[in-house]
Protein backbone atom coordinates (compact mmCIF):
# COMPACT_ATOMS: atom_id res chain seq x y z
CA UNK A 1 0.00 0.00 0.00
CA UNK A 2 2.79 2.41 0.82
CA UNK A 3 4.33 1.85 -2.61
CA UNK A 4 1.11 2.82 -4.39
CA UNK A 5 0.50 5.78 -2.09
CA UNK A 6 4.00 7.12 -2.60
CA UNK A 7 3.74 6.85 -6.37
CA UNK A 8 0.47 8.80 -6.29
CA UNK A 9 2.05 11.42 -4.03
CA UNK A 10 4.60 12.00 -6.79
CA UNK A 11 1.89 13.66 -8.87
CA UNK A 12 -0.78 14.71 -6.36
CA UNK A 13 0.00 18.36 -7.05
CA UNK A 14 -0.88 17.75 -10.71
CA UNK A 15 -3.85 15.35 -10.64
CA UNK A 16 -6.21 13.82 -8.10
CA UNK A 17 -6.29 10.07 -7.43
CA UNK A 18 -9.49 9.58 -9.50
CA UNK A 19 -7.93 11.55 -12.37
CA UNK A 20 -4.81 9.40 -12.15
CA UNK A 21 -6.99 6.28 -12.32
CA UNK A 22 -8.49 7.63 -15.56
CA UNK A 23 -5.03 8.27 -17.00
CA UNK A 24 -3.78 4.81 -16.04
CA UNK A 25 -6.90 3.17 -17.47
CA UNK A 26 -6.39 4.93 -20.81
CA UNK A 27 -2.67 4.10 -20.75
CA UNK A 28 -3.27 0.40 -20.10
CA UNK A 29 -6.43 -0.18 -22.13
CA UNK A 30 -6.18 2.34 -24.94
CA UNK A 31 -8.71 5.00 -25.90
CA UNK A 32 -11.79 5.01 -23.68
CA UNK A 33 -15.17 6.68 -23.68
CA UNK A 34 -16.30 8.52 -20.55
CA UNK A 35 -19.15 6.05 -19.95
CA UNK A 36 -16.78 3.08 -19.73
CA UNK A 37 -14.52 5.04 -17.40
CA UNK A 38 -17.48 5.90 -15.15
CA UNK A 39 -18.48 2.24 -14.98
CA UNK A 40 -14.93 1.15 -14.18
CA UNK A 41 -14.54 3.76 -11.44
CA UNK A 42 -18.03 3.17 -10.08
CA UNK A 43 -19.04 6.81 -10.42
CA UNK A 44 -21.83 8.66 -12.19
CA UNK A 45 -21.09 9.45 -15.84
CA UNK A 46 -21.22 13.19 -15.14
CA UNK A 47 -18.42 12.84 -12.56
CA UNK A 48 -16.23 10.97 -15.01
CA UNK A 49 -16.97 13.56 -17.70
CA UNK A 50 -16.02 16.42 -15.36
CA UNK A 51 -12.80 14.69 -14.33
CA UNK A 52 -11.97 14.03 -17.98
CA UNK A 53 -12.66 17.67 -18.86
CA UNK A 54 -10.15 18.79 -16.22
CA UNK A 55 -7.59 16.40 -17.71
CA UNK A 56 -8.28 17.82 -21.18
CA UNK A 57 -7.74 21.37 -19.87
CA UNK A 58 -4.51 20.23 -18.18
CA UNK A 59 -3.27 18.88 -21.51
CA UNK A 60 -3.04 15.28 -20.27
CA UNK A 61 -5.76 13.75 -22.45
CA UNK A 62 -7.52 14.74 -25.62
CA UNK A 63 -11.01 14.14 -26.85
CA UNK A 64 -11.50 12.50 -30.25
CA UNK A 65 -14.87 12.44 -31.97
CA UNK A 66 -16.06 9.52 -34.03
CA UNK A 67 -16.77 10.86 -37.53
CA UNK A 68 -19.58 8.30 -37.93
CA UNK A 69 -21.25 9.16 -34.62
CA UNK A 70 -20.44 12.60 -33.23
CA UNK A 71 -22.05 11.67 -29.90
CA UNK A 72 -19.38 9.06 -29.30
CA UNK A 73 -16.18 10.49 -27.82
CA UNK A 74 -12.92 8.68 -27.18
CA UNK A 75 -10.35 9.89 -24.70
CA UNK A 76 -6.66 9.38 -25.46
CA UNK A 77 -3.49 10.35 -23.66
CA UNK A 78 -1.41 13.24 -24.89
CA UNK A 79 2.38 12.87 -24.83
CA UNK A 80 2.35 14.84 -21.56
CA UNK A 81 -0.24 12.42 -20.14
CA UNK A 82 1.89 9.46 -21.20
CA UNK A 83 4.92 10.97 -19.46
CA UNK A 84 2.94 11.51 -16.26
CA UNK A 85 1.70 7.90 -16.20
CA UNK A 86 5.22 6.62 -16.93
CA UNK A 87 6.54 8.75 -14.08
CA UNK A 88 4.07 7.19 -11.64
CA UNK A 89 4.64 3.67 -12.94
CA UNK A 90 8.42 4.18 -12.92
CA UNK A 91 8.34 5.39 -9.33
CA UNK A 92 6.18 2.42 -8.36
CA UNK A 93 8.50 -0.04 -10.11
CA UNK A 94 11.57 1.48 -8.43
CA UNK A 95 9.94 1.24 -5.01
CA UNK A 96 8.89 -2.36 -5.61
CA UNK A 97 12.38 -3.22 -6.90
CA UNK A 98 13.88 -1.91 -3.66
CA UNK A 99 11.56 -4.15 -1.63
CA UNK A 100 12.33 -7.12 -3.86
CA UNK A 101 16.08 -6.56 -3.56
CA UNK A 102 15.75 -6.80 0.22
CA UNK A 103 13.98 -10.18 0.03
CA UNK A 104 15.86 -13.45 0.58
CA UNK A 105 16.32 -15.44 -2.65
CA UNK A 106 13.82 -18.16 -1.67
CA UNK A 107 11.13 -15.61 -0.86
CA UNK A 108 11.81 -13.72 -4.09
CA UNK A 109 11.40 -16.94 -6.11
CA UNK A 110 8.15 -17.76 -4.26
CA UNK A 111 6.85 -14.26 -4.99
CA UNK A 112 7.74 -14.67 -8.68
CA UNK A 113 5.75 -17.91 -8.85
CA UNK A 114 2.83 -16.19 -7.12
CA UNK A 115 2.89 -13.30 -9.62
CA UNK A 116 3.02 -15.80 -12.51
CA UNK A 117 -0.04 -17.58 -11.07
CA UNK A 118 -1.78 -14.24 -10.54
CA UNK A 119 -1.15 -13.25 -14.17
CA UNK A 120 -2.48 -16.58 -15.45
CA UNK A 121 -5.59 -16.31 -13.25
CA UNK A 122 -6.16 -12.85 -14.73
CA UNK A 123 -6.03 -14.39 -18.20
CA UNK A 124 -2.57 -13.08 -19.08
CA UNK A 125 0.32 -15.35 -19.84
CA UNK A 126 3.42 -14.22 -17.92
CA UNK A 127 5.98 -12.64 -20.23
CA UNK A 128 9.70 -13.21 -20.47
CA UNK A 129 10.38 -9.50 -19.97
CA UNK A 130 9.31 -9.63 -16.31
CA UNK A 131 6.40 -7.26 -16.82
CA UNK A 132 4.04 -9.33 -14.67
CA UNK A 133 6.57 -10.81 -12.27
CA UNK A 134 8.39 -7.50 -11.84
CA UNK A 135 11.52 -9.37 -13.00
CA UNK A 136 11.56 -11.26 -9.69
CA UNK A 137 13.13 -14.31 -11.31
CA UNK A 138 16.17 -12.22 -12.29
CA UNK A 139 16.47 -9.88 -9.28
CA UNK A 140 19.42 -10.73 -7.09
pLDDT, one tens digit per residue, over 84-129 is: 998 888 888 888 778 888 889 889 888 888 888 887 887 777 666 5
- Domains of the chain by range and CATH? 2-82 (1.10.10.10), 103-140 (no CATH)
Q: Which residue has the higher pLDDT, 34 or 123?
A: 34
Give the per-residue pLDDT at 121: 84
Sign of CA dihedral 121, 20, 79, 96: negative
Rg over CA atoms, the chain: 18
Enclosing H/E stretch for 12: none
Mean pLDDT along residues 5-24: 73
Q: How far is CA 119 from the centre of its chain?
A: 16
Strand partners, 73: 65
Q: What pLDDT digit, counting tens, does each position of 41-67 carry?
A: 899 999 999 999 999 999 999 999 877
15: helix, strand or coil = coil
For residue 140, pLDDT beyond 50? no
Amino acid sequence: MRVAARSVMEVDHIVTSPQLRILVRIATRGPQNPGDIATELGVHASNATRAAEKLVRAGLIERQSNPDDRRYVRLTLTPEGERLVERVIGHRRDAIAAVIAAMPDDDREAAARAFDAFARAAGVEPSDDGRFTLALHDAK
